[in-house]
A = this chain, B = another copy of it.
Amino acid sequence: MIQQLIDRIETLQAPIVVGLDPMLSYVPEQIQKQAFEEYGETLAGAAEAIWQFNKQIVDATCDLIPAVKPQIAMYEQFGVEGLQAFQKTIEYCKSKGLIVIGDVKRGDIGSTSEAYAVGHLGKVQVGSHSYAGFDEDFATVNPYLGSDGIKPFLKVCREYDKGIFILVKTSNPSSGEFQDQLIDGTPLYELVGKKVAEWGAESMDGDYSNVGCVVGATYPEMGKVLRTLMPKTYILVPGYGAQGGRAEDLVHYFNADGLGAIVNSSRGIIAAYKQEQYQHFGSANFADASRQAVLDMKADINHALARN
C-alpha cells in the first residue's frame, strides 16, 4: 500500500495530505442551512452538512493531492450519524482515486486490536460473507500498549495490503510529558521509533514499509534524528501551518531520495476561505479557496525541498 501512496506522491509531485477534520463552524452558512432544511438541526443534519462540505473540497482538490486524512473524532462527535458521514467520505474519496488515511489513533490489545484493524482496514466475517466496515487504506495507531496492540494491525495489513502510521512524537505542546522522558539517556519517542522500524521490517512494500509513523512538524530537531533512525519508515507529519510547523523545518523529515514523508494540513486547507489570505474567494467559493491553499502548500514544500 505504501508504494501506491508513493506512486501518487511522485506523479503529482505533492508530498501532502489534506486533513478532512470538519468542525461544523468551518462549514459555510449556506451548506448548513440547506442540510438543516432537509434534516432539521439534528445529528443527521450536521452529518449531512459536513459530508456536503467534504464532497466539495474533495471535488476541488482531488486532482492535486495523493491522499486525504479524515479525523474520525470530528465525525464521532455526531454519533452514529456522524460516522455515516465518515464512511461516505471515505467511499467518495476512494472513488476519486485518493488514498485514505483514517486518523483514528486506535490501540488496544489482542482480539480487541484485531477488531479495530478489521473494522478499519480489513474485512469482518459474518456467516459465509465478509464485509469491510470503514475500509480506509491506512490507519493511525497508538503504541502505548506495546506489541500486543500493534501486531494484530500488522497481520490485517499483510492480509489486505494496507498500512498504519504509529504515533511516535506528536505535534502538540505537551507531547513531551511522556514521549520525551529519558530512558538510559534515550527519549521514549526514540524507543518507540526503533520498535516501529522493527515492526516495519517485516512489512516492506518496495523501498518503504507499510508501517509508517507520525512525527509532528513542530519538533524538527527530533524529526531529523528519527529520520535517520527509521530510514525505511514513511513519516506522516501533522502540525504544518495552523499549528506552527514551517516548510523549511520539514526538509529533514525527507530522505535523500526526496521521499519518506507526507505533510498534513487540515484547517489550513479546509477552512482556507476563513483566512485573510483567501478571504477574497468568499464563503460561496470555499472549495476554490481550498484548492488555492493546496497549490500554495505544495509550492511551499517543494520550494523548501528544492532549496535543500
Q: A residues bordering B, Cβ < 8 Å?
A: 21, 23-24, 32, 36, 41-43, 45-46, 71, 73-74, 76-80, 82-84, 87, 105-113, 115-116, 118-120, 124-129, 131-134, 142-149, 167, 170-179, 181-184, 188, 191-192, 195
Contacts and interface: CB of A to CB of B under 8 A. Distances in A.
B106 A73 contact: yes
A48 B260 CA distance: 44
A120 to B, nearest CB: 8
Contacts of A24: 125-126
Nearest to A120: B76
7 contacts: A24-B125, A41-B126, A77-B116, A77-B118, A79-B133, A142-B144, A188-B188
Contact of A80 (B77, B83, B174): B83
B183 A181 contact: yes
State the copy count for this chain: 2
Contact of A46 (B80, B83, B126): B126
Given A71-B112, A129-B42, A143 B144 contact: yes
A113 B72 CA distance: 11
A74 B172 contact: no
Contact of A133 (B82, B145, B149, B181): B82
B79 A146 contact: no
A181 B191 contact: yes
Contact of A126 (B45, B132, B181, B192): B45
A147 B173 CA distance: 9
Nearest to A124: B77
A144 B167 contact: yes
